[in-house]
């Protein structure tokens, strides 16, 4: 009888562990509709501090067909994409709810590397013969959500 109870307890523990893992994955990824919604520009603009960036984005020509995550998250692998989506998302939530949102929203050093890599990835044929050591937005100012004019010469 003792081994039956310990076997039953083990079975319950295994089932509970599996349920906990599945629940954790669900919390991590959420329902598919939530994940898709969280990658839309409207979702990013739902935070009032991003309204100016969203408005500029909606007037940015061809790039407005993209989602924010196409430029602002690593897109060289699904794992890195979702790891950084989680990190950046939690950082944004912490800034917003702590009341420490910066007056001027700027790219971090890591964010700038990600955006530049995505520019090069999307425009690979165009930039294959170019020196890609400069940041794209130094000349193409309109892609910064705040710049005016399209090309600067220097």
| Per-residue model confidence as pLDDT tens for the chain (154 residues) | 455 557 788 888 888 899 888 877 776 666 767 777 788 888 888 776 777 777 777 776 777 778 888 989 999 888 899 889 888 888 888 888 888 888 777 888 999 999 999 999 988 888 888 888 888 888 877 666 765 444 444 4
Binding-site residue set for a menaquinol:
88
CA 17 to chain centre: 30
- Is 116 within 8 Å of 133 (Cβ atoms)? no
Instruction: Please enumerate, by residue number, every residue annotated as part of a binding site for heme.
Output: 44, 47, 50, 63, 68, 71-72, 88, 119, 122-123, 136, 139-140, 145
For residue 137, give both structure tokens: 């937005």
Q: Are 35 and 78 in contact (CB under 8 A)?
A: no
Report the distance separating Cα 116 and Cα 134, nearest Å.
9
d(CA 92, CA 103): 14
């Amino acid at each position: 009888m003792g081994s039956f109870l310990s076997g039953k307890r083990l079975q319950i523990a295994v089932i509970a562990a599996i349920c906990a893992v599945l629940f954790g994955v669900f919390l991590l990824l959420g329902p598919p509709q939530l994940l898709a919604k969280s990658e839309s520009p409207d979702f990013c603009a739902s935070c009032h501090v991003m309204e100016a960036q969203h408005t500029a984005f909606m007037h940015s020509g061809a790039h407005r067909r993209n989602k924010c995550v196409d430029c602002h998250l690593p897109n060289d692998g699904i794992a890195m994409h979702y790891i950084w989506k989680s990190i950046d998302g939690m950082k944004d939530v912490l800034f917003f709810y702590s009341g420490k949102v910066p007056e001027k929203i700027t790219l971090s050093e890591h964010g700038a590397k990600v955006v530049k890599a995505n520019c090069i990835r999307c425009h690979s044929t165009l930039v294959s013969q170019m020196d890609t050591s400069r940041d794209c937005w130094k000349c193409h100012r309109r892609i910064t959500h705040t710049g005016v004019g399209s090309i600067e010469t220097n």
